[in-house]
């Protein structure tokens, strides 16, 4: 058997950054190549009915080895890495017997002073990138953990389990991972995404999410003859930005706090474009945030004679509305964690997952930890022991679903 570390070190070297500007699925050829690689890996360990569909989704199945009537469980991870940092030429670095001090890489240092969780792993083996790229634990750790758990179950037929469905999805990082997911092909009664952070994380609440795009049409003339003629779109954009509450941004909020996030701003005299992310756990507060922006733009349009254009569209919803009446799914994960000696950490996702959208499509799908930290940048790291715990948890969940009471 390959270890989860062996798999992970191999997977992160595949360049699979997704590209939001490309509308095909998958958005990059490299994801298709990785999908074919993973399909072959599934074949080698002995999974059944392996397919890579036309959109790059990898499906594979572990047959049931019990005569009992057992629910079909599923595990999902995504193949792409975030465009927020380079995912090309990833060179994983291994720090053995971590001494509790800074991990010095080529261009950055990962310090326990800046990232206090790092100090918890003194004496352990920690994997990072070389500091130039991201590492890719989000979510190649999830893929490695799922496949290592499946191989373990195949190699240990004495462990009774039902049918297990797995899927590796493209383009999750650009919000499209669930777009073309075939729930009928997957066939599970419920599933877990393996796409979380630190050991113990179990998440079944996420933001309600929307995006607001604002376009300002200015009037550009020579500044020497601009009196009563020029309309500076950049200044109007600045006025709009300054109207948002300064204490409701990502950097000033935590827990169940919602926020407005200015994620794009480009302006000149003639035009300006702003993009805001709107996030809130509470549905009514979420609607109030959208109304705030609509009212703000209506007010500015009165002042500037309808030169501002607004579009708002919803991205995903809080999955708790689809999970809360199915407590057995959460209890299975919690009790399995306890059996593995892991303390469950129930917390909301300050973001979204494929699982949120899949839950609304009819596949209840909470999120499990991978063990990684500081995703989407060169400060990313993952302890080997955390990946091993994730493998053990997946195996235990598959074992315990045989006796699941619904």
Nearest-10 crossing angle of helices 233-242, 283-304:
140
Q: Please, which residues have CB within 8 angstroms of residue 37's CB and are 6 or more apart in sequence?
A: 14
Q: Is the pLDDT of residue 43 over 80?
A: yes
What does the DSSP 8-state code read for residue 130?
-
Show the domains of the chain with their CATH numbers: 4-205+318-403 (3.40.630.10), 208-316 (3.30.70.360)
pLDDT tens sequence across 88-101: 999 999 999 999 99
Which pLDDT belongs to residue 349? 87
Contact by Cβ (8 Å): 143, 79: yes
Q: Is the pLDDT of residue 342 over 80?
A: yes
pLDDT tens sequence across 360-384: 999 999 999 999 999 999 999 999 9
Distance CA 393, CA 398 (A): 9
Nearest-10 crossing angle of helices 327-339, 384-400:
120
Q: How confident is the model at residue 69 (pLDDT cuts 50, 70, 90)?
A: very high
Q: Please, which residues have CB within 8 angstroms of residue 137's CB and are 6 or more apart in sequence?
A: 8, 12, 127, 370, 371, 372, 375, 380, 381, 382
As a whole number of Å, the CA-based R_g of the chain is 23
Helix (H, G, I), strand (E, B) or coil at 148: helix
What does the DSSP 8-state code read for residue 119?
G
Distance CA 100, CA 124 (A): 10
Which pLDDT belongs to residue 199? 98
- Catalytic residues, by residue number, are 80, 172
pLDDT tens sequence across 6-40: 999 999 999 999 998 999 999 999 999 999 999 99
Q: How confident is the model at residue 351 (pLDDT cuts 50, 70, 90)?
A: confident
Chain centroid, CA 33 distance in Å: 21
Helix (H, G, I), strand (E, B) or coil at 21: coil
Q: How many CB atoms lie within 10 A of CB 216?
A: 25
Which pLDDT belongs to residue 310? 98
Which pLDDT belongs to residue 266? 97
Helix (H, G, I), strand (E, B) or coil at 18: coil
Backbone φ and ψ of 338, nearest 5°: -60, -40
Helices (H), 226-326: 233-242, 283-304, 320-323
Backbone φ and ψ of 402, nearest 5°: -60, -35
Q: Is the pLDDT of residue 406 over 80?
A: no
Q: How many CB atoms lie within 10 A of CB 229?
A: 10
Give CA separation, 373 vs 302, 330, 394, in Å: 47, 23, 20
Distance CA 150, CA 292 (A): 48
Q: Is the pLDDT of residue 200 over 90?
A: yes
Q: For the CA atoms of 252, 255, 258, 259, what is the dihedral angle to 10 degrees?
A: 30
Q: How many CB atoms lie within 10 A of CB 10?
A: 15
List % helix, strand, coil for the chain (3-state, nearest 5). Answer: 35, 25, 40
pLDDT tens sequence across 284-318: 999 999 999 999 999 999 999 999 999 999 988 99
Distance CA 307, CA 300 (A): 9
Q: How confident is the model at residue 353 (pLDDT cuts 50, 70, 90)?
A: confident
**Best CA proximity match to 29, nearest among 90, 77, 83, 80:** 80
Place of tokens 């689809």: 322
Distance CA 202, CA 370 (A): 10
Distance CA 261, CA 350 (A): 13
Distance CA 13, CA 340 (A): 30
Q: How confident is the model at residue 248 (pLDDT cuts 50, 70, 90)?
A: very high
Backbone φ and ψ of 143, nearest 5°: -65, -50
Percent over 70 (pLDDT), the chain = 100
Work out the mean pLDDT of the chain and round it to a whole number: 96
Q: For the CA atoms of 106, 107, 112, 113, what is the dihedral angle to 10 degrees?
A: 150
Residue 58's beta-bridge partner residues? 52, 168
Which pLDDT belongs to residue 168? 98
Report which of residues 356 and 61 the model is more confident about: 61
Q: How confident is the model at residue 354 (pLDDT cuts 50, 70, 90)?
A: confident
Give CA separation, 340 vs 158, 230, 317, 383, 388, in Å: 18, 67, 31, 17, 11
Q: Is the pLDDT of residue 70 over 90?
A: yes
- Residue 67: both structure tokens together: 């005569």
């Amino acid at each position: 058997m390959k270890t989860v570390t062996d798999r992970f070190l191999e997977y992160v070297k595949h360049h699979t950054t997704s590209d939001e500007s490309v509308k095909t699925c998958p958005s990059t050829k490299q994801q298709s190549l990785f999908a074919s690689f993973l399909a072959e890996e599934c074949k080698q360990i002995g999974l059944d009915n392996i397919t890579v569909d036309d959109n790059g989704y990898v499906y594979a199945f572990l047959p049931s080895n019990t005569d009992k009537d057992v629910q079909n469980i599923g595990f999902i991870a995504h193949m792409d890495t975030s465009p927020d940092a380079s995912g090309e030429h990833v060179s994983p670095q291994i720090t053995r017997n971590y001494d509790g001090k800074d991990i010095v890489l080529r261009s950055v240092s990962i310090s326990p002073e800046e990232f206090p969780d790092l100090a918890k792993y003194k004496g352990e083996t920690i994997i990072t990138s070389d500091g130039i790229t991201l590492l890719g634990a989000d979510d190649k750790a999830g893929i490695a953990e799922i496949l290592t758990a499946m191989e373990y179950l195949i190699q240990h037929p004495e462990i009774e389990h039902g049918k297990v469905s797995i899927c590796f999805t493209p383009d999750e990082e650009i919000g499209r991972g669930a777009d073309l997911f075939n729930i009928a092909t997957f066939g599970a009664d419920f599933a877990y995404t393996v796409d979380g952070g630190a050991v113990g994380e179990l998440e079944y609440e996420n933001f309600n999410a929307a995006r607001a795009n604002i376009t300002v049409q200015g009037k550009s003339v020579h500044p020497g003859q601009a009196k009563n003629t020029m309309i500076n779109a950049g200044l109007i954009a600045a006025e709009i930005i300054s109207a948002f509450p300064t204490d409701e941004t990502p950097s000033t909020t935590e827990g169940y706090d919602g926020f407005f996030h200015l994620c794009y701003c480009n302006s000149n005299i003639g035009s300006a474009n702003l993009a805001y992310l709107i996030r809130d756990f509470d549905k009514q507060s979420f609607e109030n945030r959208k109304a705030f922006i609509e009212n703000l733009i209506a007010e500015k349009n009165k002042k500037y004679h309808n030169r501002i254009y607004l579009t708002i569209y919803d991205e995903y919803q809080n999955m708790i509305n689809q999970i809360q009446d199915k407590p057995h799914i959460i209890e299975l994960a919690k009790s399995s964690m306890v059996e593995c000696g892991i303390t469950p950490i129930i917390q909301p996702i300050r973001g979204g997952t494929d699982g949120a959208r899949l839950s609304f499509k009819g596949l209840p799908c909470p999120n499990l930890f991978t063990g990684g930290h500081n995703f989407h940048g060169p400060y990313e790291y993952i302890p080997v022991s955390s990946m091993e715990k994730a493998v053990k948890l997946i195996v235990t969940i598959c074992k315990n679903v045989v006796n699941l009471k619904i």
